[in-house]
Amino acid sequence: MRALSTSLALLVLLAGCASAGARTTTAAAPAQAAPAAAATQDAGIGPQYPSTYQRHPNSPVLIRNATILTAAGQEIQGGSILFRDGRIVAVGTNVTAPTDATIVDGTGKWVTPGVIDTHSHIGVYAAPGTFGESDGNEATSPVTAEVWAEHSFWPQDPQIPLAIAGGVTTIQALPGSANLIGGRSAVLKLVPARSVQEMKFPGAHYGLKMACGENPKRVYGNRGGPSTRMGNMAGYRAAFIAAQGYRQKWDKWNKDHQGDPPERNLRNESLAEVLRGNIYVQNHCYRADEMMQMLDLAHEFGFKIRSFHHAVEAYKIADVLAREGTAVSIWSDWWGFKEEAMDGIYENAALVQQAGGRVVIHSDDASGIQRLNQEAAKAMYHGRRAGIPVTRDQAVRWFTANPAWVLGLDSLVGTLEPGKMADVVLWSADPLSVYARAVQVYNDGWLVYDRNDPAHQPKMDFTLGGEQP
Amino acid sequence: MIAFLLAQTIAITGGTVYPVSGPKIENATVLIRDGRIAAVGASVAVPAGATRIDASGKWVTPGFIDGAGQMGLREIGAVDNTNESAFRGNDVAASFNVLEGINPASSLIAVNRMEGITTTLAVPTGNLIWGQAVLIDLDGATIEAMRVKSPTAMVADLSEGSKAAGGGSRAGVAQRLRRVLDDAREYATRRADYRRAQIQPLSASAADLEALQPVLRGELPLLVVANRRSDIETALRIAKEYKLRLILAGVAEGWMIAGEIAAAGVPVLVEPLDNIPSYDALGIRYENAPLLAKGGVKVALMETATENTRDLRQQAGNAVASGMPWEQALRAVTLTPAEIFGVADRYGSLESGKVANVVIWTGDPFDFSTGVEHVFIRGREIRLRSRQTELLERYKTLPPKY
């Protein structure tokens, strides 16, 4: 009942915060032109704020005799999975353990890829949740494409180990949704670290958080606008028009190097990278009609919206979303906390899946991130009861392979296939059951959580000294 | 129409019945007549003319009771005009009873009852003393038809949320609550003096002091929101000093002092999935509800998100995953809250004579694979329809049929 007194405000704050993350592509990200912020690199600045992530050294691990859900079409009974040096080596029923492997008995247990959340504010709205940790909304101007979530992210947020215990291995930490354009996201490996740089997913693209609807007009309605949805649209368009000019200047200079380079502008730098396709648009947008407006906006400026976020009305335009190739990052059952969320239904995920769209179950919530598997289960079973076929493999993809695609990481993580990064969760039971708990969580082969071993239950600095009598 | 429906006799046959008041009964019949449960058992004769519902392979339980939220009091969280839960401008709103703020036509009711939630506590919100909470059934065209018990409890807050009402200090909150209770006592013995203004100014209005009398007499429970261990202990201390019937809600750090709470005989309402630390409760954890129950505390579970009260099922399942025995979790969403709210003579179990709030499930009510097949509230079968099911029908195939 803490929630009774405080969580409404929190809900409005956070739910309103759906933000879009930005990614930068690095050489490691497959199928992505190295975004490498051409403008900034060519300006002689070089790669900015690089990842310093390093894989934790581990012995090989073989989990055997488990039910393995690969999120790549297979459900293997009595299966084994072997990983070494952070990579999955083999998945199947006949896997031999190397002599130096740690053997984990998976009898009665289940295995999935690591859970990926495309929409988190942990780290930027860290616990204990005072003003001191409120770093998610740069609510000083409706367009702040120049801010980067990684510069707010607190790697000692005590919510991080809670999410890890829920099987989460990768997150996109987003700015909030106060602004039309809220800034760049941070795509992070969820591992204990001293700095956000040590968590940055090598090769990930930045996302750009954009927000539709009620939040920007509520925040800026009495502060110079926008105060209407048409004002919102005008704001996005003005920003991208400016970015078009900026991009042209830089592209020209990068080509001919005539004269001094144009002056840098961080806001336009982010937006120009969206126009070049290197930063992915992650768009908080609830209503179907508004998503249609945003698709028009994307057409006007020639970029793609990688994923709508929240999208409680996605089912009303599931056909369009499938055609556009825009994913939806949604809850299973949140609705009703604000007007633009009134039409949420349990079957949203199933209907988008059925139409051929790409579904992601996201959290936008430090509590919900701990059980994305459960939320996917709710959405799957309600879909089935409504007669919409959803396979278990599809439902597992909702919190693994599909969010990996939204972050541009689908060739690296999101499924259990040889060569993929060893982000692996061992569950006590069918992960689509309410009774399942993550027993072990491996991130890049590193055992970052073990339910039965306090030595593998990371604590943040904040939590130290808090042991109770 | 209502009379006709109430006169119906319904026999739910062949299901696995969980009466909660006793062990489960295989292949049992639940007989409903005139809105009440007429019989429960494996050898109940079905009267001729009864409407038979085949529950073979299904699970039959009492309707779930959620002791939290603002059902009927708040349509849209972010839209102030739709919120009736707070009496603003009065830190001591003891006389504020939410009953007439309840909207029986709220769209939240149909959405949640079709997932097996049949009874909820409509809780006011506020500062120090929030007002009087009312227990309602999630069916009925009028507040009279929905009302189960009004008032059910007086609600007060000793958590971080009430600090402003105590001059910014927890100590101030506790002292102000004591002063209000002292003044209510004095008021009760000196009403005439009060009317003649021959009494020093009291700390609350006559109406609010009057409303506290049943609390002081131990007739109306004081439901106190408290999360930090020391706040829970303050609530226990004050309840002991004034001989109050206390219910604790939230109780995030209660697991640290389960024995103390159990010894005081105080029941608690807990949200099992609440585990994000704040300065109000740095010791908050998933295992709170199971540890309290293990320590002998009477525990009811709750889901505080009003629009998703239906997730009480998920809360209960997670309590089990965190260590609470399954039977205890089922009790914690049925008979235990009925006991805590003083309606166990009518609610909370499948027993002859009780109000026929009954749910037929396809399986374990806590698990996601389970669906709801039938819901009865006061013996009336509820249509499993809501605004959400109608949106589904409209958009199931695109383009929609407008």
Query: Has residue A428 been placed in a domain?
Result: no
A 423-452: CB under 8 A from B? 432-437
pLDDT given at position B401: 85
Judge: B274–A3 Cβ closer than 8 Å, yes or no. yes
Hey, is the C-beta of A322 within 8 angstroms of any chain B C-beta? Answer: no
- Residue of chain A whose alpha carbon sits nearest to that of B305: A3
Q: What percent of chain A has pLDDT over 70?
A: 90
B98 and B151 in a single domain? The answer is yes
pLDDT given at position A42: 36
Is the pLDDT at A356 greater than 80? The verdict is yes
Task: Provide the residue range defining the domain that includes A178.
Answer: 10-55+115-413
B43 and B184 in a single domain? The answer is no
Judge: B256–A469 Cβ closer than 8 Å, yes or no. yes
Instruction: For residue A396, give how far its alpha carbon lies from the nearest alpha carbon of chain B (Å).
Output: 14
Is the pLDDT at A420 greater than 70? The verdict is yes
B356 and B253 in a single domain? The answer is no
Element holding B329 (H helix, E strand): helix B326-331
Is the pLDDT at A25 greater than 50? The verdict is no
Contacts of A381 in chain B (CB under 8 A): 368-371
Task: Provide the residue range defining the domain that includes B43.
Answer: 1-63+348-402
Query: Has residue A92 been placed in a domain?
Result: no
Kindly report the number of other CB atoms within 10 A of residue A447's CB atom.
19
Is the pLDDT at B3 greater than 90? The verdict is no
Q: Which of A195, A158, A197, A150 lies closest to A175, judged by CA? A: A150
Hey, is the C-beta of B139 within 8 angstroms of any chain A C-beta? Answer: no
Contacts of A321 in chain B (CB under 8 A): none
Lowest mean pLDDT, pick from A27-36, A85-94, A383-392: A27-36
Is the pLDDT at A328 greater than 80? The verdict is yes
pLDDT-based confidence at residue B8 (cuts at 50, 70, 90): confident
B354 and B341 in a single domain? The answer is no
Are B374 and B368 in contact by the 8 Å Cβ rule? The answer is no
pLDDT given at position A412: 98
Q: Specify the CATH number for the domain of residue A395.
A: 3.20.20.140
Q: What percent of chain A has pLDDT over 90?
A: 88
Indicate the SS3 state at residue B308.
Answer: helix
pLDDT given at position A21: 33
Query: Has residue A322 been placed in a domain?
Result: yes
Each residue's pLDDT tens digit, B195-222: 898 988 899 999 999 999 999 999 999 9
pLDDT given at position A15: 35
Hunting for tokens 């609350």 — which residue is that? B204
Query: Has residue A465 been placed in a domain?
Result: no
Indicate the SS3 state at residue A156.
Answer: coil
Each residue's pLDDT tens digit, B144-163: 999 999 999 999 999 999 99
Indicate the number of domains in chain A: 1
Contacts of B369 in chain A (CB under 8 A): 377, 381, 432-433
Hey, is the C-beta of A335 within 8 angstroms of any chain B C-beta? Answer: yes
CA R_g for chain A: 22
Distance CA A401, CA A414 (A): 4
B336 and B230 in a single domain? The answer is yes
Cα torsion A412, A413, A419, A425 to 10°: value is 160
Is the pLDDT at A29 greater than 70? The verdict is no
Indicate the number of domains in chain B: 2
What's chain B's average pLDDT? 97
Contacts of B368 in chain A (CB under 8 A): 374, 377-378, 380-381, 432-434
Q: Specify the CATH number for the domain of residue B305.
A: 3.20.20.140
pLDDT-based confidence at residue A47 (cuts at 50, 70, 90): confident
Q: Which of A2, A14, A1, A4 lies closest to A334, judged by CA? A: A14
B167 and B231 in a single domain? The answer is yes
Judge: B77–A374 Cβ closer than 8 Å, yes or no. no
Hunting for tokens 């009665």 — which residue is that? A108
Is the pLDDT at A36 greater than 60? The verdict is no
Judge: B225–A469 Cβ closer than 8 Å, yes or no. no
Query: Has residue A72 been placed in a domain?
Result: no
Query: Has residue A4 been placed in a domain?
Result: no
Chain B interface, best mutation among A5, A8, A363, A428, by max B CB count within 10 A:
A5
Q: Where are the beta strands (DSSP E) in B46-172?
A: 51-54, 59-62, 64-66, 117-122, 129-137, 147-157
pLDDT-based confidence at residue B7 (cuts at 50, 70, 90): low
Indicate the SS3 state at residue A84.
Answer: strand
Each residue's pLDDT tens digit, B255-290: 999 999 999 999 999 999 999 999 999 999 999 999
B101 and B13 in a single domain? The answer is no
Distance CA B264, CA B354 (A): 29
Judge: A374–B314 Cβ closer than 8 Å, yes or no. yes
- Residue of chain A whose alpha carbon sits nearest to that of B362: A385
pLDDT given at position B197: 87
Predicted complex ipTM: 0.96
Instruction: For residue A60, give how far its alpha carbon lies from the nearest alpha carbon of chain B (Å).
Output: 30
CB nearest A319 (choices: B321, B371, B398): B398
Is the pLDDT at A216 greater than 90? The verdict is yes
Distance CA A423, CA A115 (A): 8
Phi, psi of A397 (to 5 degrees): -60, -25
Instruction: For residue A282, give how far its alpha carbon lies from the nearest alpha carbon of chain B (Å).
Output: 24
Judge: B256–A8 Cβ closer than 8 Å, yes or no. no
Each residue's pLDDT tens digit, B121-131: 999 999 999 99
Judge: A4–B395 Cβ closer than 8 Å, yes or no. no
Contacts of B398 in chain A (CB under 8 A): 316-319, 355
Q: What percent of chain B has pLDDT over 70?
A: 98
Each residue's pLDDT tens digit, A278-298: 999 999 999 999 999 999 999
Written as one letter, the residue type at A424 is: V
| A224 HSE (CA, 13 A, CB side) | 7
Judge: A466–B308 Cβ closer than 8 Å, yes or no. no
CB nearest B125 (choices: A5, A351, A434): A5
B141 and B20 in a single domain? The answer is no
Query: Has residue A397 been placed in a domain?
Result: yes
pLDDT given at position A5: 44
pLDDT given at position B344: 98
Please give the span between the terminal C-alpha atoms of chain B, in angstroms, as a whole number: 32
B 6-65: CB under 8 A from A? none
Indicate the SS3 state at residue A129.
Answer: coil
Q: Which of B314, B249, B330 lies closest to B288, judged by CA? A: B249
DSSP-based helix, strand, coil % in chain B, nearest 5: 35, 25, 45
Judge: B160–A128 Cβ closer than 8 Å, yes or no. no
Average pLDDT over residues A222-236: 97
pLDDT given at position A205: 93
pLDDT-based confidence at residue A468 (cuts at 50, 70, 90): low
Q: Specify the CATH number for the domain of residue B41.
A: 2.30.40.10
B173 and B231 in a single domain? The answer is yes
**CA distances from residue A12 to A334, A335, B124 in whole angstroms, order as listed:** 12, 12, 19
Query: Has residue A103 been placed in a domain?
Result: no
Phi, psi of A245 (to 5 degrees): -65, -40
Written as one letter, the residue type at A184 is: R
Distance CA A184, CA A182 (A): 7
| End residue of a domain, out of B345, B374, B392 | B345
pLDDT given at position A203: 86
Indicate the SS3 state at residue A461.
Answer: helix
B287 and B390 in a single domain? The answer is no
B46 and B92 in a single domain? The answer is no
**CA distances from residue B122 to B211, B299, B310 in whole angstroms, order as listed:** 18, 19, 15
Chain A interface, best mutation among B230, B307, B324, B393, by max A CB count within 10 A:
B307
B265 and B323 in a single domain? The answer is yes
Distance CA A350, CA A384 (A): 8
Instruction: For residue A175, give how far its alpha carbon lies from the nearest alpha carbon of chain B (Å).
Output: 20
Q: Which residues contact A301 (CB under 8 A, 6 or more apart)?
A: A240, A244, A275
